[in-house]
Structure 1
Amino acid sequence: MTAATAAAPARAATAVCLAVAALVAAAPPPSHTARLAQDADAVHRAGAVGVAAVLDTSSGTATAHSGTADTRTGRPMRPDDHYRAGSTLKTFVATVVLQLVGEGRLSLGDPVDRWLPGVVSGHGNDGRRITVRMLLQHTSGVPNVTRLPELLPALYSADGYYRNRFRHYTAEELVAAAVRQAPDFEPGTGYRYSNTGYVLAGMIIEKVTGRGWRAEVRDRLIRPLGLTGTSLPGDAPVLPAPYARGYHTYAEGGGGPVDTTLFNGTAADAAGDLVTTPRDVNRLFTALLTGRLLRPAELDEMRRTVPMPEEPGRRVGLGLETTPLSCGGFYWHHGGNALGYSSENGITTDGRRAVTVATNSFDEADEGRQDAADQAVKELIDHALCGRSAAP
C-alpha cells in the first residue's frame, strides 16, 4: 500500500470521527433512554449474566446496562467494557476486501485459486469455481470449520476448553481441516454460513497486500476511525481492562457456566478474532453505512443481498445482514458469538440510529433460556431503531 493510498482512508476516517463525535453533543429524549434501560433489564431477566447497550442517534447517545460483568465480585456490566464480539469482525474484513476492490487490486469475481492456488481442493472442493464474492456472502459451499469438534474441542466441552484455550492455530490449518469435508453445495447454488470463507478472505488479503489481515484492518479501519477499544488479539488470551468476563454453558457435561474469558483468538482467525466495545461497533457501522469507508460502487456491492432461507425475511450481503423492523423497512447489522459472549447490533438504512448490545454469557445447555435472551436483544434493537418510548 502506497503512502497516498494509506492517506486517503485516514483523511476520510478523520471526517468520520468528527461526524460521529457530533452525535454525542446532545442527549436523546429521556423516554428513549428509559426504554433502553427497560429493555436491557429485560435481557438480563431473560438469562444474560450481564448486558450493555449503546444507542447513537442524531440527537445524541444513550447507554444502559444490567447484570454483572464478573460474578465473583458482582461488578456491574458497563457500556465501556471490552468483550469478544466474534463474527462482527466479518464486517471489518469484508470492508477491507472491498477497499482493495475499489483500489483495483482484486475483483469480487476472482476465483480463490487466483490468489490461493490449490488451497481449496479435494473432496469435491474446488477453488477454481469459488469466487471472492461467494466467500463473503456464504454462497461458496465451503464447509464451516467450526463444525469440527476434533479440531476445535474448546468450542464443544468444558474439558476441551481447559485443555485447548491457549492453543495456536494457523489459517492454513483451519482451511485444510475444513476442505477435508465434502462441500455443502455446488458453488453459488445455495447459502450456508461458513467461517472458513472468512479465514480464506483473510488469507487473500495477505496475498494481495503482502501484509497480514490484522495489520490491514488496524491501519485501514481501527486506527483511522479512532476505535480505541478495538483489538485483534491473536495469541494474546487476555482482554484489555475494563472487560466483562465471559460465561459459557456447554451442552456437554452439565456442569454449569464456565468462565471462558481467557482464549486464544487464532481459533477464529479472520472469521471472529475481535475484541471491542459497543461504542466502537456503532462507530464502525455508522462510518460504513453512511458511505465514508467505501466508494458508492463497492458499498452497493456490499449491500447486494440474497435470502437467508432458514430465517424468513432476513437477507445477507457481503459482511452485512438485514432484518425487518416492526416500524417498517429494515436495518443493517452483523452480530457475533464467542465463547461466553454474544453481541448484536443494528443501524438504520439512513445511518441516523445505531445500537449495539453486548452480553457476557451464552447457554447451549438450556436452549429455551438462550432463545429468550436472544429474543429480548432483538426487541431492544427494534425498539431502539424505531425510536420506541418507555413502556408505561
Structure 2
Amino acid sequence: MLTINPRRYGAAVLVGALAALMCAPAAEAAEAVRGSLWSQVKAIKETGNVAVVAEATGPRGHRFASAGKADADTGTPAMSYDAFRIGSATKTFTATVVLQLVGEGRMSLDDTVEHWLPGVVSGNGNDGSKITIRQLLQHTSGIFNYTADLPELASTEDFQAGRYTTYTPAQLVAIATRHAPDFAPGTGWNYSNTNYILAGMVIDRVTGHTWQDEVTRRIIRPLGLHRTSTPGTNPSIPGPHLHGYSNFGSGPTIDITAFNPSAAGAAGEIISTTTDLTTFYTALMRGRLLAPAQLAQMQATVPAPILPGARYGLGLMWVPLSCGGGYFGHAGDVPGYSTRDGVTPDGRRAAVVERTGNGGPGSEQAMDTLIDEQLCEA
C-alpha cells in the first residue's frame, strides 16, 4: 500500500505518481506474460541486486518492468515510477546547457577554462589556459578525476563519517589539482568527473545563475520532467523512490540513500526516473533541446575505452548495437545506484534500467544486454 502526501510532494508529483500507480502495475503484469523486458529485469535482480526497474519504448509500445524491493527494511516493492540517483547521466544535462549557451553565442567550445575561470585550474602541472570547454565535455582535458581521491568513497566507515559533508565546486577541483594531469590536454582520453564540475562552474559564470537553475529552467520545466530534480545539498530523495545500498567493496552493506550530493555536483547530482530519462534522451535526439549544429557537435565522438567499440561525444556515449548501428546515452554510477540508458539516433527507441545494491558478477553486463536487446527488438 502506497500513501502519498500531496503537501509533502506537491501537486505535480502527486499527479505523476497516481498516474503511475494506475498504469505501471498493469503494464508490468502484461510484460511478465510477454517475457523479454521483465525476464531481463529479473535476470539483473538475480545477479545480487536489491531492486531493478526498467522502461523501454519501441515497436511494442511503452513498457515497464520491476523486481525486488525499493526499501529492504520495509519490504516495499520496487515500482517503475520510483525515483533514483542517476549519477553520471547528469553529464548529458550539463553538456546540453553548455551547448545551448554556445548556440546562443554566449560562449564557444574553443574558449579556454582560464578565460571563464581564471586561476581555478593551476598548480602541479595543471594549466586552464591550455584546456578548452570542448575538452572538458569530451574528457580529453587530462585533468585528474577528483572522485579517485574523495574520502567518502574509500570505505563504508569513511562514507558514514562524511555522508553529509557539503563540498563547493572549487573544493572538488582543488582535490583534482593536487595531482598532476593524466596527460597533456587533447593528447588522450580519460573519464574525469572533474571536467563536469568545471563545466558547471562555467555555466554559473556565463549565466550568473547556478547550473542547477539553468538545467531546471532550460530542460526540466520545458520537458515536464516532474520527478527530476537537482538537489544541491539536500540529502533526501523526494516522493516514492528506490533506496540505495552499498558495501563500498569490502565493508558491511548499508543503506546509503541519504547523503549530501554536492560531492557529485554537475557531474552526477541529479535525481530522476526511468520515464523522465526516456523523455529527456528522446527529446534530445529529436532536436527539441539543441539546434542541429549543436546536436551534431554533441554527437561528434572520439574513441573511449568504456565498452567495446564505444565512443564519447560531448556528454554522450555512443555504443554499438549487436544488430548494427548504435545508440547514444550515458551510464551513471553513484554509491548504491547504477543507471544505464540508450536511445537510437532517431529517437524512436529508448531503454532505461536502474539497479540498486552491490550487484555481483555479470550484473553490469546484464544491464548492457537489456539496453542492447530492447533497442534491437524487431
Give the TM-score normalised by the residue count of structure 2.
0.90
**Deviation of the 1:217 alpha carbon:** 0.3
Q: Is 1:375 aligned with 2:368?
A: no
Counterpart of 1:127 in structure 2 is 128
Counterpart of 2:355 in structure 1 is 359
Take 1:192 and 1:32, find their aligned partners in 2: how far apart are those partners? 43
**Residues 57-206 of structure 1 aligned to structure 2 (within 5 Å):** 57=58, 60-148=61-149, 152-206=150-204
Q: Cα deviations across residues 143-174 of structure 1 (Å, max 9, x unaligned)?
A: 000010xxx32212111111111100000111
**Residues 153-302 of structure 1 aligned to structure 2 (within 5 Å):** 153-253=151-251, 255=252, 257-302=253-298
Counterpart of 2:20 in structure 1 is none
Q: Is 1:327 aligned with 2:323?
A: yes
Q: Cα deviations across residues 320-364 of structure 1 (Å, max 9, x unaligned)?
A: 00111111111111010111000100011221011110111135x
Contact map agreement 2:56 2:374 (CA 8 A) in 1: yes
Distance 1:33 1:187, change over 3 A: farther
For 1:36, the aligned partner's letter is L
Counterpart of 1:5 in structure 2 is none
Q: Which runs of 5+ in 2 are unaligned?
A: 1-22
SS in structure 1 at match of 2:142: coil
Contact map agreement 1:47 1:372 (CA 8 A) in 2: no
Q: Is 1:387 aligned with 2:377?
A: yes
Q: Cα deviations across residues 2-44 of structure 1 (Å, max 9, x unaligned)?
A: xxxxxxxxxxxxxxxxxxxxxx9xx999699521011110101
Q: Which runs of 5+ in 1 are unaligned?
A: 1-23, 364-368
Q: Cα deviations across residues 280-308 of structure 1 (Å, max 9, x unaligned)?
A: 00100000011111000000000000001
- Identical-pair percentage: 50
Counterpart of 2:333 in structure 1 is 337
Give the TM-score normalised by the residue count of structure 1.
0.87
Contact map agreement 2:31 2:65 (CA 8 A) in 1: no
Over aligned residues, Cα RMSD in angstroms? Answer: 1.8
SS in structure 2 at match of 1:374: helix
**Deviation of the 1:311 alpha carbon:** 3.6
Distance 1:38 1:30, change over 3 A: closer
SS in structure 2 at match of 1:313: coil
Distance 1:291 1:310, change over 3 A: closer
Take 1:68 and 1:384, find their aligned partners in 2: how far apart are those partners? 23
Take 2:278 and 2:337, find their aligned partners in 1: how far apart are those partners? 18
